[in-house]
A and B are shown apart, each in its own frame.
Chain A
């Protein structure tokens, strides 16, 4: 059974077709890219998967289960975590709290437990803490656990955002332009980080990315979209040679 199966996914905004008949099947433990020119509908696909929009047509099945009608937090609980194109950390809470809060779906205690500080509460909070510290340690963020995200450099904020997504323990990690706004040494760091996550966690990573260096060095499979429709799907080598892709990016060579 595939991890994610999208069939005939279409989303219209009024007269605009943002995503048109999008199909993909992702298995367990893959590293895939979604590329395409600006406005091609890539982020809309991610927004549809994470439950932020509902599809106009078509279906999204996660581990065989249709996600139709699920609210974003329920989709996350089902194992999909994501990052955002512009960083969306909670800027006024320190990094550790950012990682803790992302574990909301498996708090495992009720409001009453929280008021009465029951044994269950202590146990669960401790588990949340342990996971948070483990992640921070593993991702080299331990030193900034008590820093506010807004005081951190942009590259580190990206890492924190990825760490926050990983604290959900996702089976599918969606990265929306993780290299956007990073300098070249940060990009190198990002490539290493994504590779490390892929090697160490049982997770399928699907990223939208414009920097070909990142895509080509990480992904084994690339899907290209333009104007909402898929124009190519294949290995990096195939995509680089594909005439339709070249046309979409560089335009027609006939004048």
Chain B
């Protein structure tokens, strides 16, 4: 029983939040902050796989998020929304419960495939050069969508709210919040399982000594492929959730500014620490909201915090330690297999 304390606490917490949102204790503002928190946790932990565990410097995470956002949006709009180009909804509203998660998965899959743009060059390229490739990948995605008039180009794309409306027309509870929480849990769970396996430990082995990894039978190309595709795929999932939270996306919201934001979360939390980046993502979201009164000035304050962090604690808040390494007593309350 004790072993499951944390698991039970997590699910109880999620249920509690859903109930609070349902009965209006949490207003729309708090709910949306909560949802962005989840999206940020997915983004930061998935980027951590590449920037932390693998030691590469990917600065194009926003691009993959964008692919996921657009692909899943296109899917749900096609299925459940009336659109000038895509026509009338193909499916009735009660199928949104299946359609929405499938659309999210499609977005994640498309983003994972887009991750190949970086994964394949990474076989031969490392460090700064690969960083430039990731930057280019981000620009390619944004510019391509900017130039596609059919999905709105720079004006953006909308109609995703029909999905939530569809789900609410059947049972009126905060569905998007629930899906966001589940998606967050799923991502962290997937990453945790990957990095704790001997298979997944091939990733930090590449980071720490690639030649040794290759000579000691680690198929480095395969590991890079998995790491980049998993990372970009989860970014795509985050993008899909983001699009359905807002009900509207435009390419500008996934540009280099977004990628930087995600990187800040990773470096804040500590590279190579899953719990660290997850906590940092939560902290960062709160910070962004708390500093809202500063308006554009918050983009002066936050980078300044980053400079201070790099100066005084370059390894991030948690170094590359997990929460359970810092508080060994926690281990009693969860079992991880």
Mark A residues whose CB is within 8 Å of B.
50, 52, 71-73, 76-77, 81-82, 84, 88-93, 97, 100-105, 107, 109, 111, 114-115, 117, 121, 125, 128, 164-165, 168
B337 in contact (CB, < 8 A): yes
**What is the distance, in angstroms, from A32's C-beta to the closest C-beta of chain B?**
20
CA distance A91 to B209 in the complex (A): 9
**What is the distance, in angstroms, from B221's C-beta to the closest C-beta of chain A?**
8
Binds A, one of B127-135, B192-200, B255-263, B302-310: B192-200
Interchain residue pairs with CB less than 8 A apart (7): A72-B214, A73-B215, A73-B218, A92-B204, A93-B204, A93-B208, A100-B201
**What is the distance, in angstroms, from B270's C-beta to the closest C-beta of chain A?**
13
**Does B198 lie within 8 Å of A100, measured CB to CB?**
yes
Across the interface, A168 reaches (CB within 8 A) one of B194, B208, B217, namely: B217
B320 in contact (CB, < 8 A): yes
**What is the distance, in angstroms, from B166's C-beta to the closest C-beta of chain A?**
30
Q: Which of B253-304 contact A (CB under 8 A)?
A: 272
The 7 closest A-B pairs by CB, nearest first: A105-B217, A88-B212, A76-B217, A90-B208, A102-B216, A72-B214, A104-B218
Given contacts A71-B219, A93-B208, 14 further A-B contacts (CB under 8 A): A52-B215, A73-B216, A88-B212, A92-B204, A92-B208, A92-B320, A100-B198, A100-B201, A104-B219, A114-B200, A117-B337, A125-B197, A128-B198, A168-B216
Q: Which of B185-230 contact A (CB under 8 A)?
A: 190, 193-194, 197-202, 204-205, 208-209, 211-221, 226
**Does B194 lie within 8 Å of A115, measured CB to CB?**
yes
CA distance A62 to B201 in the complex (A): 29
Please, which residues of chain B bring their CB within 8 A of the CB of A89? 209, 212
**What is the distance, in angstroms, from B274's C-beta to the closest C-beta of chain A?**
15
**What is the distance, in angstroms, from B215's C-beta to the closest C-beta of chain A?**
5
Q: Which of B318-337 contact A (CB under 8 A)?
A: 320, 337
Please, which residues of chain B bring their CB within 8 A of the CB of A52? 211, 214-215
Chain B contributes a number of interface residues (CB within 8 A of A) equal to 28
Q: With A88-B212, A92-B320, A117-B337 as known contacts, state yes or no: A101 contacts B218, CB within 8 Å.
A: yes
**What is the distance, in angstroms, from A122's C-beta to the closest C-beta of chain B?**
8
Across the interface, B201 reaches (CB within 8 A) one of A82, A101, A111, A168, namely: A101
Q: Which of B51-95 contact A (CB under 8 A)?
A: none
CA distance A93 to B205 in the complex (A): 8
Across the interface, B216 reaches (CB within 8 A) one of A104, A109, A121, A128, namely: A104
**Does A88 lie within 8 Å of B211, measured CB to CB?**
yes
**What is the distance, in angstroms, from B67's C-beta to the closest C-beta of chain A?**
21
Most buried by B among A89, A107, A117: A107
Please, which residues of chain A bring their CB within 8 A of the CB of B213? 90, 101
Closest to B219 in A: A73
CA distance A50 to B215 in the complex (A): 7
**Does A117 lie within 8 Å of B193, measured CB to CB?**
yes
CA distance A114 to B219 in the complex (A): 16
CA distance A100 to B219 in the complex (A): 14
Q: With A73-B220, A92-B320 as known contacts, state yes or no: A114 contacts B199, CB within 8 Å.
A: yes
CA distance A100 to B214 in the complex (A): 14
**Does A101 lie within 8 Å of B198, measured CB to CB?**
yes
Please, which residues of chain B bring their CB within 8 A of the CB of A82? 215
CA distance A105 to B222 in the complex (A): 12
**Does B217 lie within 8 Å of A115, measured CB to CB?**
no
Closest to B230 in A: A111
Please, which residues of chain A bring their CB within 8 A of the CB of B199? 104, 107, 109, 111, 114
Closest to B201 in A: A101
**Does A115 lie within 8 Å of B193, measured CB to CB?**
yes
**Does B217 lie within 8 Å of A73, measured CB to CB?**
yes
